[in-house]
Amino acid sequence: MDDFREIDVSEANALIQRGGVTLVDIRDPGSYAEAHIPDAVSVDQQSVQEFIQRADKQKPLICYCYHGISSQSAAQFFKENGFSEVYSITGGFEEYRKHYPPA
């Protein structure tokens, strides 16, 4: 089984702009409420099982955390739970928002 793939912020943004991706924010709910990538879904320990049951596993899934560390294990977890195409953003949300500030 293939593992997830790390992608940089420009590749992540290109996938997001193309559309048809699921974006998962695994930071704490307060940080998500403060700022997140548009259309991202906040997923935490309490909601992850429900998310896995409801999500379209054939759509590419991009997950991110603060700095791109925790999202690597989360991406692997999603891959192991049947998602076909999984990415983790290198540098996480902090790197992403340097290049693409939230509106």
Say what the pTM is: 0.94
The domains of the chain, with CATH numbers, are: 5-99 (3.40.250.10)
Kindly report the length of the chain: 103
Q: What is the pLDDT of residue 103?
A: 63
Q: Which residues are catalytic?
A: 65
pLDDT less than 50: residues of the chain: 1
Q: For position 101, what pLDDT does the model report?
A: 86
Task: State both tokens at 102.
Answer: 């939230």
| Residue 23: strand, helix, or coil | strand
Q: How far is CA 100 from CA 9, 10, 37, 65, 85, in A?
A: 9, 9, 9, 16, 23
Q: How far apart are CA 88 and CA 64, in angstroms?
A: 6
pLDDT at residue number 102: 72
